[in-house]
């Protein structure tokens, strides 16, 4: 009876330990040699490099959109469409910039991915895009068209191009948490989302520690100055 009791306890421990196992460096994620500056300091950035024409990005997007809904106030998504040429990729990135500026990622991205990847609609053609967007019912297509055709949109698209070039982004999708932790999707997107949650918490703890240390700094400096004065 006692043996059976200890066997149950041992199996329960293994189950709990296995389920709580933390993400492993170089297996579940890597650390960038050159960190990427976040848009908002002291917050947690989830940076996505993607392309509407990328089938893997299409498959990842539902997972990201679901996770975004549960982001805490200190966490935000930064979606950057890669620009690998001045034609198709640039014009698709213009759509992404318009989606970002109008805050329609949740409503518009699923339809855009379906159109490009599944329906093979050439949304990189501005005329085709404008016509297609105006016909959509799942999001405000006219609002998206208006944003797409602004000078600010072109400027934001060029910023996307520069960022991808600066950090040598040559494949998609790439997801980076906190500007330095890149998720590896070797075990699938669902496992990748689990890793993302852990990395978000990791960055949150790092931010809290850094802020706490900064708050302690003036007292330490004051104590050092006072000690120095007493020795004179």
| Angle, CA of 89, 32 and 40, to the nearest 5° | 75
182 φ, ψ to 5°?
A: -95, 125
Gap between the Cα atoms of 75 and 45, Å rounded:
6
| Two structure tokens written together for 58 | 């299409």
Q: Is the dihedral of CA 36, 41, 152, 95 positive or negative?
A: positive
Tens digits of residue pLDDT in 111-164: 999 999 999 999 999 999 999 999 999 999 999 999 999 999 999 999 999 999
Gap between the Cα atoms of 2 and 8, Å rounded:
10
CA dihedral of residues 164, 175, 47, 83 (deg, nearest 10):
30
Tens digits of residue pLDDT in 82-126: 999 989 999 999 999 999 999 999 999 999 999 999 999 999 999
Gap between the Cα atoms of 39 and 16, Å rounded:
37
| Two structure tokens written together for 208 | 């809290």
Judge whether 83 and 157 are in contact, CB under 8 Å: yes
* Cβ count within 10 A of residue 116: 22
Tens digits of residue pLDDT in 179-232: 999 999 999 999 999 999 999 999 999 998 887 777 776 555 545 544 544 444
Run of H or E including 107: helix 105-113
Strand 75-81 relative to strand 174-177, pairing: unpaired
Nearest Cα neighbor of 111 from 103, 99, 100 is: 99
Instruction: Write down all domains in the chain, each with its CATH number in brackets.
Output: 25-200 (3.40.30.10)
Q: Is 174 helix (H, G, I), strand (E, B) or coil?
A: strand
Q: For residues 223 and 69, which has the higher predicted lDDT (pLDDT)?
A: 69
pTM of the model: 0.83
């Amino acid at each position: 009876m006692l043996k059976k009791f200890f066997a149950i306890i041992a199996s329960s421990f293994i189950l709990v330990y296995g389920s709580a196992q933390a993400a492993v460096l170089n297996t579940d994620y890597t650390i960038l040699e050159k960190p990427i500056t976040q848009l908002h300091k002291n917050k947690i950035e989830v940076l996505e490099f993607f392309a509407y024409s990328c089938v893997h990005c299409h498959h990842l997007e539902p997972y990201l959109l679901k996770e975004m809904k549960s982001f805490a106030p200190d966490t935000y998504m930064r979606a950057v469409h890669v620009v690998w040429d001045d034609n198709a990729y640039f014009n698709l990135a213009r759509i992404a910039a318009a989606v970002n500026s109008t805050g329609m990622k949740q409503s518009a991205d699923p339809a855009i991915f379906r159109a490009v990847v599944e329906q093979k609609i050439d949304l990189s053609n501005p005329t085709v895009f404008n016509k297609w967007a105006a016909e959509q019912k799942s999001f405000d297509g006219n609002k998206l068209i208006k944003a797409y055709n602004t000078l600010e949109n072109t400027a934001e698209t060029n910023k996307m191009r520069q960022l991808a070039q600066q950090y040598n982004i040559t494949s998609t999708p790439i997801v980076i948490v906190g500007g330095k932790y890149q998720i590896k999707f070797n075990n699938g997107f669902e496992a990748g989302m689990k890793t993302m949650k852990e990395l978000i918490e990791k960055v949150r703890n790092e931010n809290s520690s850094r802020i706490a240390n900064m708050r302690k700094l003036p007292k330490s400096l004051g104590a050092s100055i006072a000690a120095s004065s007493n020795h004179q």
